[in-house]
Amino acid sequence: MPQWLEKSNRRLAKGLWWAVLIGLLGSLPFAYTRIQTEASSKKVEFVMDYRDIVQVSQTQADPKRFVEEKLQELKDAGVNAMAVYESSLEELSWEKDVTLYNAQNAALLEGKLPEYGDNRTYLLFANPEHAAVLRPIIEQAFAKIGVSVSSWSAGGREGLLLGIGPDDAYMRTLPPNPITLQKLKDEGFLIVPRLSDRLPYDDEYVGGLIDEFKALGVSSIIFDGDAVTGFADQEDEESLDKLAVRLNEAGIGIGAIENLKIPQSGLGTLAKLLDYNVMRVHSISEGEMNVGKPQTLSDRILLAVKDRNLRLIFLNASASKEAAKGQITNSIETIVKTVAGDEEEDVKGAIELIEDFGFEVGEAHSFDIHRPAAAVLWKAFAVFGSVALIAAAIGLYLPSLLALVTVIGAIGGAGVLVLDSSLLNQALALVTAIAAPTASLVLLIKWLRAKHDRKASERKEGRETGRGSGRGGDSESGRTSGLGGKGESGRTSGLGSKSESGFAGGLPSSAWGRVGASLVLFVRTAVLSLVAVPFVIAILNNITYNLVLEQFRGVSLLHLAPIALVALYAVLYGYGGTVRSNFLHLMKQPITVLWVVLIAIVGALGMYYLSRTGNSGQASGLELQFRSFLEGTFGVRPRTKEFLLGHPLLILGLFLSLRYRWGIVFLIAATLGQLSMVDTFAHLHTPIFLSATRDLLGLGLGLVLGLIAIAVWQLLEKLWRSRGRLVR
């Protein structure tokens, strides 16, 4: 590289780091407003599936009394809301509002033979008062789908005759049972309707439902099925737009259920039309409730609320046959213990746990979205700061192309600002998240290499000086300047000698000096790695990420690229030689069985490591217990890959690298901890305060374990030296 270009690139690199600093300042308003947004919703709603209670009651001798008792138990436990689905004839029969008959049973009821070929549906109302409410609902619902409806009565009870087969009739969708809605309202529960997209969208019909919900004080709706109401007719009738108008007028928000295999169709579109009046829903299924223990389930609810910003906790129950006990049991008691706790078993309930973290049970509402003033200007600073960080990182590998990379990056950054595309924003945030920990470790390796080169140079000069002085006889200079001599010159340039400051060649020579230097470098490296965090927050500053309507993609790349790039730098940009010569030298190395074994081990560890990244990774039972212990001990669980692996390896690696060149191997592995700190904040649905606490805990615990590792190393090294077998 020409000298003028090298000087120019050095000046440009310094300028880029100043640009990074300015970009950081521009990112801070986004972090502040996101903290405000996350603090705006602190009420948690415990929603019980009312249909499940009714279904469980069918196993009891007195279903109605059972429902009343369980409603009171759940209310006393702290469950404050009931989910009510669209109804059906079958569900009305479960609640004993109607009795259903096929043609044969209806004929027996009337004391006559059934008509040949009659497969219609007969029903009788159980309560005359309820009949006045339910009759028009059933008539309108079946008339709308072209089914004939006529009056029928038997045994002094009025009813209806439907021109549709019983099996088909039982499945047809009816509006939510207004009798049930009012009963639950009178019991003091909040109502959470669950609407589906099974019927063609009828704006007048939906408007009537929304008005009824508003009168009942409904504040949120959770959709049932794989699509939101109106999705199927959106293209032809703009039904989602009409539904959004109705919901906005009523002040009703919607729930977004987390961890669905396939997100509900139309949810993102409707959420945008509602200006993101959306609450995240955590659902515990019937099966999980049947086998789960209250302690485990309450801890799970706590994590959902404080770690993932969920505000609606949806509880399911079911009846199951216990062959070992010879009876039918249900999980409602488990729900009660999960929510309220169990003093006999010393189990803290979910309500007590979330209250300890500043949350309260109440009517949940969506986040109040805060945005910084002059957001476009601040984002411009953040974007170009990110571009500067990326360019500076690339410049560490391709210094001759730094100017070109900077220009291309500036053009790309301008494109990100102008287009404001979700994909482009995510791409920029991802590359920024990769660049910071990579640059942090590369700069560390570069610094260590320079210090070791300087030390080697001083050793060489010391030897040459010693030989020259020796040839000059037993002069004072020769006696004091030789290798390891005791004169003033020997103290400053001999192998293993110390200067007044305690450093040889810019590196500390004592163990305590290396410990101190390791701590300083550890903090510096961590701070530089975390530079990416404000940029990611600013670039992806959209409530859709908090609500997981959009996800920050690229987790696997973020977990792999920095490690690979740091390893590449350590190998090809190592001590001595050009990149090309180092590469050719590496390619000429003979492949041994040991190499093959090591590559296989590294590959297996890499595959396991990548399988554990993202939301799909599965933890073992032992690891889950360890996580629970950490959560209970610290309140916030530090990430094991940081405090057990990455950070201790970095501390130990720094301590060794300050003396031995091969210590850099530990620094490559320690990249894991640095990228994990950035990845913690890449979980954009997790509150910033919690992510920061998690990272700080990881750094603190990792530091302690790293110091312990140094002490163990020193002890082993001393034992090895005492046997005279230490190979240098």
Residue where a domain terminates, one of 361, 379, 396: 361
Give the tens place of pLDDT for each residue, 313-340: 999 999 988 877 788 889 999 999 999 9
Q: Does 79 share its domain with 115?
A: no
Helix, strand, coil distribution of the chain in percent, nearest 5 = 60, 10, 25
Would you say residue 472 has pLDDT above 50?
A: no
Give the tens place of pLDDT for each residue, 12-59: 999 999 999 999 999 999 999 999 999 999 999 999 999 999 999 999
**pLDDT at residue number 613:** 63
Structure tokens at 361: 């049970």
Q: Does 472 share its domain with 339?
A: no
Would you say residue 726 has pLDDT above 60?
A: no
**pLDDT at residue number 354:** 96
Residue where a domain terminates, one of 115, 145, 170: 170
| 337 domain residue, yes or no | yes
Alpha helices in 341-421 (DSSP H): 350-356, 375-397, 402-419
**pLDDT at residue number 476:** 40
**Dihedral sign of CA atoms 390, 391, 393, 394 in order:** positive
What's the CATH code of the domain at 212? 3.20.20
**pLDDT at residue number 505:** 52
Q: What is the mean pLDDT of residues 258-271?
A: 94
Q: Does 166 share its domain with 179?
A: no
Q: Does 231 share its domain with 106?
A: no
Burial class (CB in 10 A: 0-12, 13-18, 19+), 270: buried
Q: What is the mean pLDDT of residues 465-491?
A: 44
| 31 domain residue, yes or no | no
Give the tens place of pLDDT for each residue, 633-672: 788 889 988 999 999 999 999 999 999 888 898 999 999 9
∠ CA 569-571-573, nearest 5°, is 50
Q: Does 245 share its domain with 304?
A: yes
Q: Does 255 share its domain with 143?
A: no
| 672 domain residue, yes or no | yes
**pLDDT at residue number 574:** 64
Give the tens place of pLDDT for each residue, 77-95: 999 999 999 999 999 999 9
Q: Does 157 share its domain with 264?
A: no
Would you say residue 549 has pLDDT above 90?
A: yes
Number of domains in the chain: 3
**pLDDT at residue number 122:** 95
Q: Among 40-49, 59-68, 483-492, 717-726, which stretch is predicted with the lowest mean pLDDT?
A: 483-492
Q: Does 151 share its domain with 246?
A: no
Q: Which of 364, 353, 235, 243 is nearest to 303 (CA)?
A: 353
| 371 domain residue, yes or no | no
Q: Among 185-194, 291-300, 489-498, which stretch is predicted with the lowest mean pLDDT?
A: 489-498
624 band by pLDDT with thresholds 50, 70 and 90: low
Give the tens place of pLDDT for each residue, 363-388: 999 999 999 999 999 999 999 999 99
Q: What is the mean pLDDT of residues 148-161?
A: 93
Q: Which of 648, 646, 636, 642 is nearest to 688 (CA)?
A: 636
Q: Does 140 share its domain with 212?
A: no
589 band by pLDDT with thresholds 50, 70 and 90: confident
Contact 387, 393 (CB under 8 A): no
| 408 domain residue, yes or no | no
Q: Does 573 share its domain with 458?
A: yes
Would you say residue 349 has pLDDT above 80?
A: yes
Q: What is the mean pLDDT of residues 6-11?
A: 82
**pLDDT at residue number 497:** 39
Amino acid (one-letter) located at 506: G
Rounded Cα distance between 263 and 256, Å, is 9
Q: Does 264 share its domain with 331?
A: yes
**What's the mean pLDDT when you consider all of the chain?**
88
Q: What is the mean pLDDT of residues 95-104?
A: 93
Q: Among 272-281, 378-387, 404-413, 451-460, which stretch is predicted with the lowest mean pLDDT?
A: 451-460
| 18 domain residue, yes or no | no
Containing structural domain, residue 79: 43-86+175-361
Taking CA atoms, 241 is separated from 230, 234, 278, 451, in Å, by: 9, 8, 16, 65
Q: What is the mean pLDDT of residues 240-246?
A: 97
| 552 domain residue, yes or no | yes
Cβ count within 10 A of residue 603: 10
Structure tokens at 554: 């690229």
Give the tens place of pLDDT for each residue, 164-202: 999 999 999 999 999 999 999 999 999 999 999 999 999
Backbone angles phi, psi at 320, to 5 degrees: -145, 150
Structure tokens at 53: 């209670």
| 370 domain residue, yes or no | no
**pLDDT at residue number 556:** 80
Selected residue with higher pLDDT from 610 and 632: 632
Q: Global pTM?
A: 0.87
Would you say residue 309 has pLDDT above 90?
A: yes
Would you say residue 553 has pLDDT above 90?
A: no
Give the tens place of pLDDT for each residue, 496-547: 334 433 444 578 888 999 999 999 999 999 999 999 999 999 999 999 999 9
Residue where a domain terminates, one of 309, 331, 361: 361
Rounded Cα distance between 119 and 285, Å, is 37
Q: Does 483 share its domain with 515?
A: yes
Rounded Cα distance between 143 and 137, Å, is 10
**pLDDT at residue number 459:** 76
Would you say residue 117 has pLDDT above 90?
A: no
